[in-house]
Amino acid sequence: MNILYYNWMTFNSTAGRGGGATSYLDRVIRTLSAHDDLRIVHLSSGTEYTANPKNTFYRQLASVGRVDRFEIVNSPVLAPAHLNMGNPMAAVEDTLTRDIFLDFIAKHGPFDVVHFNSIEGLSFRCLELKSAFPNLRIVLSLHDYYPFCPSVKLWRDGKENCTDNEEGRKCVSCPHTRVSTKAYISTKQIYSSFFGAALSDYDKLQRASIATSLYAYPIFSSAVRAETRRSGKSLSRGTASVDSKLERGYRAFLERGVEIINREADTVIAVSKRVMEIAQQRGISAHKIKQQYIGTANGVSPKLQRAKEDGAPMCIAFLGFATPEKGFFFFLDCLELLSSKQAKSIDVVVAARCDSATKKRLRRVGNRFHSFKHYDGYRAESLSEILQPVHLGIVPTLWEDNLPQVALEFAGHGIPVLSSNLGGSKEIGNCSDFVFTAGSTEDFNNKLCDIFFSFDSLAQKYFRHSRKFPDNAMHGEGLLQLYNSPTRSYAGVAQ
């Protein structure tokens, strides 16, 4: 079987680039590439630009083991998605990336399956493959909400969970930071062409390109000022025509993206039950969607890692990104509201990269507790050591986080998870004693105190009720079964 995987970031990216979808795909590809009867190819797009951005093409990268890697260069659709917020129409109208995709398959196939783990960096029209390759199986995994949200998270303006975009009208005022697409592409073109050696690091190049697009270009261009927005404020006056154009673009994005998926995809994989609910609410056909949990290193532990001795402190931990939507600052608010007596009965572990101001707040908060330990980020190989003293994991997400990898990491180490009622993390334990109302400090602290006083019995209840999540090998076999199932007959028409 020949399988083509797509994600906007290459699967073996380091330093967390591309988030959970990238690390997930890395595990899938490494698991399946051990099968001698499988040929696996990876394609990425939307991040690389050269001196002539109008010349869109693909090129081969260094292979990883038996896996060949390619990337599309100079895509008219930027990735990650927030960089394309100023140009939503391209994501549903562009046919250039589709034609390049078709050419790639013709020259580097044949493929039995194309599995999209994102559509960022491409037009949705890249799903229009069956007219040329009618036996091709097209699979789309929903690791985020990109088909229903141009900034992928359903997280309105960096402040709150978004439940209604009003057919794109709210999207116009939503992005906390929006750059002019043309300014960003030309900036990246210049930096990549003339300062490639000095800015060879992906993160440095991204920061430099975004900063120039936001702060330098608008000084010289009224058009860029009209299209560019930062901190929730327009950089120019009289932008009604720009806003009207964007509203039409967002409406087209939201309507046509779902329509193309329903017409072209054989299967849409929802990584949690909550994602499946949201996808169906937003228009994905029920007969297309399949709920399938992602694999982890060890699945979910069937038993508790450690009991809490009577009278001993309980150790709680937060892992991941120190961002508002992940509930990090909400978590700190909750800790600050605990009484001194409660705080002295709790050990706190935080493994998250933080800026200097946040580190100061962490130290101040940490001084209230029996003990406090901060790791400035973490790697997979260090998790067992970090989690060794932990009794309870905290996943306080304020958005509909599809299925947080950190929640699975906790549960895989035999650690129950106290999570918000948003997203998929609550499905792991399937236990209401470990679920609080998102954003409610009172409910969080009440649940935390209940768990403290009845930890052993509640933790055992958590693992009795916990769902059986697959390990990486089991998940890989599940994907192969899906890939081998019959494809539908093609009825769509690509134009």
The DSSP result for 336-355, as a single string, is: HHS-HHHHTTEEEEEE----
Beta bridge partners of 373: 349
SS3 142: strand
d(CA 477, CA 430): 25
CA torsion 481-119-294-133 (nearest 10°) is: 10
Print pLDDT tens along the chain (495 aa). 999 999 999 998 865 677 778 889 999 999 999 999 999 999 999 988 887 767 899 999 999 999 999 999 999 999 999 889 888 999 999 999 999 999 999 999 999 999 999 999 999 999 999 999 999 999 999 999 999 999 999 999 888 999 999 989 899 888 777 788 788 888 877 777 666 555 556 667 777 777 888 777 777 777 777 777 766 555 454 466 777 888 899 999 999 999 999 999 999 999 999 999 999 999 999 999 999 999 877 677 777 888 888 889 999 999 999 999 999 999 999 999 999 999 999 999 999 999 999 999 999 999 999 999 999 988 878 999 999 999 999 999 999 999 998 999 999 899 999 999 999 999 999 999 999 999 999 999 999 999 999 999 999 999 998 888 888 899 999 999 999 987 665 555 444
pLDDT at 243: 77
pLDDT at 495: 42
Place of tokens 């967390």: 16
Closest CA to 168 of 282, 270, 272, 19: 282
pLDDT at 75: 94
**Which token pair is 360?**
């100061």
pLDDT at 234: 55
Residue 417 has phi, psi (to 5 degrees) of -125, 125
d(CA 446, CA 460): 19
pLDDT at 198: 52
d(CA 44, CA 10): 6
pLDDT at 240: 66
pLDDT at 491: 52
pLDDT at 490: 54
d(CA 153, CA 165): 12
Residue 424 has phi, psi (to 5 degrees) of -95, -5
pLDDT at 199: 52
SS3 168: helix
**Which token pair is 228?**
């560019």
